Every structure is written in structure tokens, then in C-alpha cells.
Amino acid sequence: MNSVAFIVIAILTLAAALAAATLQKLMHAALSFAVTFVGIAAFFFLLGAEFVGLVQVFVYIGAVAVLIVFTILLTRRDVEKDRGFNWSGVVVAIAVFGGLIWAIFKTQSVSVTAPAIPVLTVKRIGEVLMTNYVWPLQCVGLLLTAALIGALILVMEEKG
């Protein structure tokens, strides 16, 4: 694994995430949110899970980020900015980060280097999805259907 690639992707992802969390204009924040997911997909490619990286690009950037842009369009007010910022959230976030870093550094078993693994093929993912994970697959299908119907009912205009 390339450590230069890791540093570049990490800087890109964290900078875009900070921009998405702190920018005042909604559109800018939504677009840097999409760049964050490009960075996370690059991490997945670096870690050898290419299929999940592409699924991430399709679903998060292609669907969720576009949905957010459409919702910004549909809920537009005269002033399109977010005027409130709560500073106690910053304190809580830094405290949680400190706690997580302490837990990571205290654990001995996470300072391992990457073992050489066989390439994870889409064929293997398909096999596992149809044999070991067939029940979760059907449940996710049911859940997606329910979410689709629910979202449609929520935004449908009432007639009469």
C-alpha cells in the first residue's frame, strides 16, 4: 500500500469534510460533501475493496448527494445561508475525538501492518451474497421498498 497515496487521500477527505461541516452556504457544503465521498471511495480502493468503492460512488455521490442538492433546491428561502452555529457542538466533537484517539493508542492489537491477501473478486462477493447473506439481502430489499413507498407518501400532495 502506498503511503504517499494514503496521506494525499487523507488530507483531501478531511479537508473536504471540514469544509462540508463549517461552510456557511448550503450549496458549497453539499458539493464538498460529495468530494468527501470521493475521498472515502479512494480509501476503499487503497484498502483493496474496489467493489465497495464503486458502490459508494454510485450510491452516495450519485444518489444521496444529488438528493441533498434537490432538497436544497426545494426548500429554498430568501437567504440561503445557515445563520446559526452552536459552539458547544465543537467542544463535544473534540472531546469524542480525544476519547477515540486515546482508545486507539491504548489498544495493542491495532498496530499491525497489512497482510498479503488474495484479491477480492466480484464473483466472490456474489457467491457470499447468495449463500451466506441471502437473508440480509432479502431484508435490505424489503427495507428499500418500504423506504421508497414511505418517502413517496411523505412528499405526495394531498388531494382534495
CB of 68 to another protein, least distance (A): 6
- Minimum distance of another protein from residue 148's CB (angstroms): 7
Q: Which is nearer to another protein, 1 or 160 (CB)?
A: 1
Q: Which three cell numbers stand for residue 158?
A: 394531498
Burial zone of 72 (CB within 10 Å; 0-12 exposed, 13-18 middle, 19+ buried): middle
Q: How far apart are CA 144 and CA 142, in angstroms?
A: 5
Judged by beta carbon, residue 6 or residue 160, the one nearer another protein is 6
Q: Given the complex with another protein, which of 155 and 160 has the nearer CB atom?
A: 155
d(CA 106, CA 110): 9
Q: How far is the CB of 123 from another protein (least distance, A)?
A: 11
Read off the C-alpha cell for 145: 421498498
Rounded Cα distance, 10 and 12, in Å? 5
Closest separation between CB of residue 159 and another protein, Å?
A: 15
Spatial CA neighbour of 60 closest among 27, 87, 34: 34
Interhelix angle for 66-74 vs 26-46, to 10°?
A: 170
CB of 127 to another protein, least distance (A): 10
User: Which backbone phi and psi does 25 adopt, to 5 degrees?
Assistant: -85, 135
